[in-house]
Amino acid sequence: MRSNYRKIGDHIREVNVRNKDLTVKTLLGINIDKYCMPSVANIVGTDMASYKIVKPGQFACNRMHVGRDYRLPVALSNIDKEFIVSPAYDVFEVFDENILLPEYLMMWFSRKEFDRNAWFYTDADVRGGLPWKSFCEMELPVPHLEKQIEMVKEYNTIVNRINLNNQLIQKLEETAQTIYKQWFVDFEFPGENGSPYKSSGGLMEKSDLGEIPKGWEYISIQSLIDNKILFKNQDGNHGEIHPKSTDYVQSGIPFIMAKDILHGTINLDSCNFISNEQAKSLRIGFAKTDDVLFTHKGTMGRVAIVPDIKDFIVLTPQVTYYRIRNEQKINKEYLFCLFNSDIFQNILNEQSDQSTRKFLSILNQRLIKILLPSENIMGRFGCIIEPLLKTNRIIALELNKLIKFQDILLSKLARIDNE
């Protein structure tokens, strides 16, 4: 053991304060991403007096499923009021903050290497619990308090920027969806005189969807493909051909999985790569710049527009791509907002195979009916939404780099000394 490494158990103590008088009402759980969240447990008829109270600055963790999840759900309470957690959780605190800062300890818990080490200590139970004694035996470097303060400050700067970017992305997405709903659900897009179309007496006609603006269509995605407005994507009868982990290379053709589709774009920094030869041997999707993607298996309904790329990317069979052939008829901004809309997301869930992993075949996707507005409205909508999506992509790119830098900073903790 290096000179500045100490056992976790040397710096923490268990806290077991029960909610006996039922004064604390807020029940939270701990996510595997290590933050507190509203509990999803069914507590009807449950005696809440046995639940444990967590105070600001204390930790809560669930050691029961580390072997199954490969992570230890543990979180530091940074909210200004008490909450309760399941009696099966552990609650603990740092007993001398002049030696170890709780925020620094939480940084250590956030490391991927910590989770791998925790998994190594799990027991032989089916779920792979982490014994409390083993948890306390795990070690971490404990530098001087000044060094801890410096590291926490640097880390919080990154975390705060990540949170800000997430908020900006959410606001941009909400703004785009608000405009989409106003134009294509409420039909209150600006008419010829600038007034809201439907409420100003704009001409409407009946369709299978109900009343829609005159001249608009309610048609299947297949019709757009047949009319060469959209590119015909995967055949829908290909096998689940997927590269093996041993096929991945350091650089080459990006291989995009559902996890790589976030915030309306794809993360080319975290995806795996395959060789050009391997890519050509796979009978799965080849997507290019400006193609619109969405996930249709397992993690349903993530949507992205492919950013500027040199050549092409290869998609896992979990991801569908659509390529626009006639931008006057339909544009990527409309298709992106359509796929992200509540109406389309509900269709995905309702029509998917309700098995353990939801799935909507490509053939069934093409049967989905969508609203096709007039070319004039389509073009105007694209001009309004395009700057929002461009800004979103820029912020998402920065966010990906911040997350990568956050991981680098956490990995450096193992090499901190007392200088």
pLDDT values of the chain reduced to their tens digit, one per residue, 419 residues = 466 899 999 999 999 999 999 999 999 999 888 999 988 777 777 889 999 999 999 999 999 888 888 899 999 998 899 999 999 999 999 999 999 999 999 999 999 999 999 998 887 665 678 999 999 999 999 999 999 999 999 999 999 999 999 999 999 999 999 999 999 999 999 988 889 999 999 999 998 889 999 999 999 999 999 888 888 665 544 444 678 888 899 888 999 999 999 899 998 888 999 998 888 887 667 899 999 999 988 788 999 999 998 889 999 888 989 999 999 999 999 999 999 999 999 988 887 766 556 788 888 888 999 999 999 999 999 999 999 999 999 999 999 999 999 999 999 898 876 54
Cα separation of 393 and 306, whole Å? 10
Q: What is the pLDDT of residue 317?
A: 85
Three-state secondary-structure class, residue 227 = coil
Q: What does the block give as tokens for 258? A: 């559902």
Q: 3-state DSSP call for residue 164?
A: helix
Sign of the alpha-carbon dihedral angle for 78, 163, 157, 114: positive
- Cα–Cα distance measured from residue 181 to residue 187, given in angstroms and rounded to the nearest whole number: 8
Determine how many CB atoms are found less than 10 A away from the CB of residue 238.
13
The answer to whether residues 418 and 144 touch, using CB atoms and an 8 Å cutoff, is yes
For 65, the token pair is 């499923």
Q: What is the side-by-side order of every strand in the sheet holding 253-256?
A: 272-274, 253-256, 313-315, 286-287
- Could you give phi then psi for residue 67, rounded to 5 degrees? -65, -30
Nearest to 412 by CA among 154, 75, 145, 115: 154
State the DSSP H helix or E strand holding residue 170, giving kind and residue range, or none if neither: helix 145-184
pLDDT of residue 237: 42
pLDDT value, residue 160: 96
Q: What letter represents residue 7's amino acid?
A: K
In this prediction, residue 349 carries a pLDDT of 82
Other beta carbons within 10 Å of 373: 22
Residue 136, Cβ density class (10 Å: 0-12 exposed, 13-18 middle, ≥19 buried): middle
All residues at 6 or more sequence positions from 280 whose CB lies less than 8 Å from its CB, including other chains: none
Those residues with Cβ within 8 angstroms of residue 127's Cβ, 6 or more apart along the chain or in another chain? 64, 65, 67, 68
Q: Which amino acid is at 214?
A: K
pLDDT score, position 2: 64
Walk me through the domains of the chain, giving residue ranges and CATH numbers: 5-142 (3.90.220.20), 190-378 (3.90.220.20)
| Cα dist from 141 to 82, 147, 213, 408, whole Å | 30, 11, 66, 16
- What pLDDT, on a 0 to 100 scale, did the predictor assign at position 211? 94
CA–CA gap between residue 241 and residue 255 (Å, rounded): 12
* Calpha distance 302→321 (Å, rounded): 12
Q: Which of 302, 296, 315 is nearest to 263 (CA)?
A: 302
DSSP H stretches of helix in 232-298: 276-281
Q: What is the pLDDT of residue 325?
A: 92
Q: What was the pLDDT predicted at 238?
A: 45
pLDDT of residue 419: 47
Give the residue among 94, 98, 120, 95 at the shortest CA–CA distance from 107: 94
